[in-house]
A and B are shown apart, each in its own frame.
Chain A
């Protein structure tokens, strides 16, 4: 299958680029050995639709860094592997990157199940993974930096917005999701949050569908019925990638507009809307930390560089791309600060690193390995972009363990002294005398 894929081509290109870079730098720098950056994104299979773009954005960032003189006087070299949307293969490829290719850092994974599958490998071999996608939280590994949003940086603000008068004052909630770990956990947190805000269980409808579900007639009809109980209703969608298109088509065809029942989605961004006639979706919402439409100089520069790199003006940018942008720059700064690519030293240097967000403000890496970043809520426009209608006043600190689930509310993630722990109730090294 690889024969027909872009994998081999890219691999060859990357290797070539590496050799050229190596050749030119070796003359100037004594320790010209390239720093190897692993890229672990599916380039084939179901997830290729989302992950290929992330591989490309990483190649662009690495190229930019090399043009700016590399890192520690050494060039960066991308090592691209294709885990082919196959979860166990993710673990194998991660091991290959860390043991054979001896990479210093890995940027990769999209689905939670792929992250869960590589986690033991990174912990065993003490690797470093940057994970760029919004996820369900309830995790903090010593070897992973989570640059996507935790539930309190996406799901909770979105629900708060829809509850507010401005957002329509929703009182009844439909939680729709694809049947796997991310929607289930997010909805568990959301239900607890809604209950805490006085929403009774009978005012919450929770529905799950199989992956790639394409016949939404019955579910859309039952959402409409659930909504006709005299109180404002909103839909929170954690529907996974591919199933979204038929879902939104059915909504539009059944004449449900965002005026009547707004749908807020956590996995629908610019890239997903690219395959869709967006006219009937205008007004439905998405919550992210980044929208392509945000007009800042940093973002304009990023988009221009992206179009230049990919050679296609029509390509969009999205939230996980910004997460890689932030993660990569933080890692570069941490390596410069530590003066080495050694994982333990870099990890210590990561805490408190700051990078200017593409949407304005400054992202900060916290000791729980999650970012502080702003939360934006956008409404879909008819050109497939988002109109930002609401944003948080300042940065929101990513919370690894949700405060709304009793068993995780008591847990703390903090990888600095005295805690040094990803899920503890007590610090590992309690300060004596306090």
Chain B
């Protein structure tokens, strides 16, 4: 340990000397080279010191070095020269950070990469932030201000104040003021700190809450991080105000997450609502129909990736009809091949479809291998809307909510407004009468089962975006799907909709308090009790259909 301390001291001394050196001329070049050297080869503490020093030089060459470090593109050659390496088909294209000139192309094993862990890369990024505060591009300046804000790097204060004086863009100005306040929180002057606390009060970002909370933390020896009592009181007060605002938002967040979970449940269950709910077939292989849909998505995406990579972002739109057709055909085959022989024998159906689910899973495992398959998320589904109050709505889940409502609406239209829908309802309500009217009930049965399976396949497309595409994909959803259908009321699509969303929201409201495991158990117990009281679920079918 003492050796490390002495090393550190020596390094900081060296840096002081470097910083005190004249700002222009040959000497500066040598200093810059020394700093680059330390940033690449030093011990961790020396490296971080050198990184801030590089930023403080304001040297235009520093940015390239820091960016290379942050992106793990800084290398040391066998001779000990620090170089920037860019990917090249034959290995690496080396660039001299001091002159910006190309040195040559080498194999990736000829040079050693500078190890840059999270802390170093964060330091490098915050240094880049400081350097780009004056950039002509407002977007870059905004980004820089945000980086400085989250790093709270005191070394950036001077630059920031200079930048603030010239700044004309209001958004960037706001971000810079926020960043300045964040840095001032660490100032030595209590008055400045108080000013900073006041300035930060109006924001509700989790980051700011975190900064204010840091002030009021009581250390183990009883002292506080913030020594001045007025500042501490002000910080505590601001914190409380923020907490109040957040509390309401948090509940809204849980409800949103519940709706999102509900939409996934609905997607998974809606096909089952037809096969089980309308036809009365206990189909344990329903989850595997979902899985088939997900694997179809994977195959479609691979084909597009190999033949038309520019269309990759739109692959899901091809996958949706494809998954519907593939899973639908599989469903029809299952109905014609197995289930039609077992109508009216629920126990045998259950066992046969369960066996079928095992076979399908192992078949997929043999065809595609046991590992998860990677289904890419299109760029327009990535990212999230971040509200200031800390509630994040991710795009993929937002789209899934929309998608599930569309599927539901489409299915409603298909059942209510098409000839097939009419026939399906006729057959399920009174088979003999339907047959007497000239409906080919066998064909309708097959198509109904195919429709339910096809919709399960569509659900697979959506689930491939949030879950593993593995042979076991369907297993995670089969029990939940049955729960939703039974809870909502067998044979009633609106009941399935209401059931899915109420289960989702109840689950998510319980989860933060009871934990994920207990939350799920509580929901399950609640459903069992509910079914005791109302065996036909939320929306019971009335009238003749019940007896049919």
Contacts and interface: CB of A to CB of B under 8 A. Distances in A.
Contacts, number: 174
A227 B207 CA distance: 9
Given A49-B371, A246-B468, 11 more contacts: A5-B362, A165-B44, A218-B254, A218-B516, A221-B257, A224-B206, A255-B392, A260-B150, A274-B372, A276-B372, A277-B374
B384 A275 contact: no
B261 A215 contact: yes
A179 B517 CA distance: 8
Quick one: which of B211, B214, B260, B394 has the most chain A CB within 10 A? B394
Contact of B466 (A166, A207, A249, A295): A249
Interface stretch (A126-134, A228-236, A394-402): A228-236
Pick the 4 closest A-B CB pairs, nearest first. Answer: A275-B372, A230-B214, A230-B213, A253-B394
Of B118, B217, B261, B366, chain A has the most CB atoms within 10 Å of the CB of B118
B265 to A, nearest CB: 9
A219 interface: yes
Contacts of B118: 167-168, 258-259, 262, 283, 379
Contacts of A222: 512
Interface string B454-484: 0000000000001111111001100000000
Interface residues of B, number: 73
B362 A4 contact: yes
A221 B253 contact: yes
Contacts of A253: 382-384, 392, 394-397
Interface string B206-244: 110111111111001000010000000000000000000
Interface in B365-420: 365-366, 370-374, 376-377, 382-384, 386, 390-392, 394-397
Contact of A49 (B359, B470, B515): B470
A397 B116 CA distance: 28
A212 B390 contact: no
Contact of B260 (A217, A249, A274): A217
16 contacts: A44-B365, A165-B44, A167-B118, A210-B516, A228-B207, A230-B211, A231-B214, A231-B217, A242-B372, A249-B466, A253-B384, A255-B383, A259-B118, A275-B374, A277-B376, A387-B72
B358 A1 contact: yes
Given A1-B358, A215-B264, A225-B390, A208 B515 contact: yes
Nearest to A212: B476
Interface string B107-130: 001000101111101100100000
Contacts of B377: 249, 277
B45 interface: yes
Interface in B422-448: none
Interface in B4-46: 44-45
Contact of A4 (B214, B264, B366): B366
Contacts of B193: none
Contacts of B115: 387-389
A262 B122 CA distance: 12
Contacts of A255: 383-384, 386, 392
Interface string B145-162: 000001000000000000
A229 B213 contact: yes
A213 B475 CA distance: 11
Interface in A156-215: 165-168, 179, 198, 200, 207-210, 212-215
A246 B516 CA distance: 15
B362 A275 contact: no
B121 A283 contact: yes
A181 B44 CA distance: 37
A167 B117 contact: yes
Contact of A209 (B72, B253, B517): B517
A48 interface: yes
Given A166-B119, A228-B210, A249-B466, A5 B366 contact: yes
A276 B374 contact: yes
B520 A390 contact: no
Nearest to B125: A259
Given A1-B359, A224-B206, A52 B44 contact: no
A259 B466 contact: no
Interface of B is mostly: helix
Interface of A is mostly: loop
B264 A210 contact: no
B511 interface: yes
A383 B525 CA distance: 45
A271 interface: yes
A139 interface: no
Interface string A233-246: 00000000010011
B363 interface: yes
Contacts of B362: 1, 4-5, 44
A6 B6 CA distance: 61
Identify the interface centre among A230, A250, A295, A381: most chain B CB within 10 Å of its CB: A230
Contacts of B386: 255
Nearest to A230: B214
A236 B431 CA distance: 58
Contacts of A6: 366
Nearest to B362: A4
A42 to B, nearest CB: 9
A222 B512 CA distance: 8
Interface string B251-283: 001100100110010000000000000000000
Interface string A373-415: 0000001010000011110000000000000000000000000
A293 to B, nearest CB: 11
Nearest to A387: B72
Contacts of B515: 207-208
Contacts of B363: 4
Contacts of A224: 206, 390, 392
Contacts of B395: 253
A46 interface: yes
A296 interface: no
Nearest to A233: B210
Given A48-B370, A275-B469, A283-B118, A217 B213 contact: no
Contact of B517 (A46, A208, A250): A208
A228 B394 CA distance: 20
Contacts of A165: 44-45, 119
A238 to B, nearest CB: 14
Contact of B397 (A48, A217, A258, A283): A217
Contacts of A254: 384, 392, 394
Contact of B468 (A198, A275, A283): A275
A207 B516 contact: yes
Interface in A333-356: none
